[in-house]
């Protein structure tokens, strides 16, 4: 994989992670988080510098996933590789995070189940994004028969 492809794949996965995090935690779970603003949660409207740590944490997570994807041999189709990467991301990142928070803070169990379910979907989408954008450059080459048929059509 070229450095350009690696960087562009990282950027694409990072942007997807940011959009999904905004949708999940800013809209879907906003009502569930309401009672915890000011106690367990900071308001995202505030001017505190800690808000900047959210994209930093997402970028570090994506960089880790990119390392896993480029160093671990995964077999199967691009889709299968993406789902496997997403599942690994969920098991290694999201499950421990939300279970630790649940053990240490007074989150209701129903909220943690929602968080885990939505983060599972998010992790799968991010894994698929990485697999589709970081694939080897020849991954979607046509067979010789398809290539010659395309060449015949192009010459008409």
Q: Give the pLDDT confidence score for residue 140 in this predicted structure.
A: 45
**95-147 confidence digits (pLDDT tens):** 999 999 899 988 899 999 999 999 999 999 999 999 999 976 555 444 455 44
41 DSSP β-pair partners: 37
Where do the domains of the chain lie?
Answer: 3-135
Section 77-104 average pLDDT: 95
Beta strands in the chain (DSSP E): none
Which residues contact residue 101 at a Cβ distance below 8 angstroms, ignoring those fewer than 6 apart?
107, 112
User: 3-class DSSP state for residue 72?
Assistant: coil
Rounded Cα distance between 146 and 137, Å, is 18
34: pLDDT confidence band, cut at 50, 70 and 90? confident
CA 82-79-86 angle, to 5 degrees, is 20
């Amino acid at each position: 994989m070229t450095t350009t492809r690696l960087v562009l794949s990282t950027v694409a996965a990072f942007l997807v992670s940011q959009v999904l995090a905004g949708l999940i935690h800013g809209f879907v779970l906003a009502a569930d988080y309401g009672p915890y603003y000011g106690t367990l949660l900071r308001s995202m409207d505030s001017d505190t510098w800690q808000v900047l740590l959210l994209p930093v944490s997402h970028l570090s997570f994506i960089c880790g996933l990119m390392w896993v994807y480029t160093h671990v041999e995964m077999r199967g189709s691009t889709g299968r590789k993406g789902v496997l990467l997403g599942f690994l991301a969920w098991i290694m990142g999201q499950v421990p995070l939300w279970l630790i928070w649940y053990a240490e803070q007074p989150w209701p169990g129903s909220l943690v189940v929602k968080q885990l379910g939505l983060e599972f979907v998010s992790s799968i989408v991010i894994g698929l994004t990485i697999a589709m954008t970081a694939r080897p450059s020849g991954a979607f080459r046509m067979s010789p028969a398809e290539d010659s048929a395309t060449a015949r059509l192009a010459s008409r």
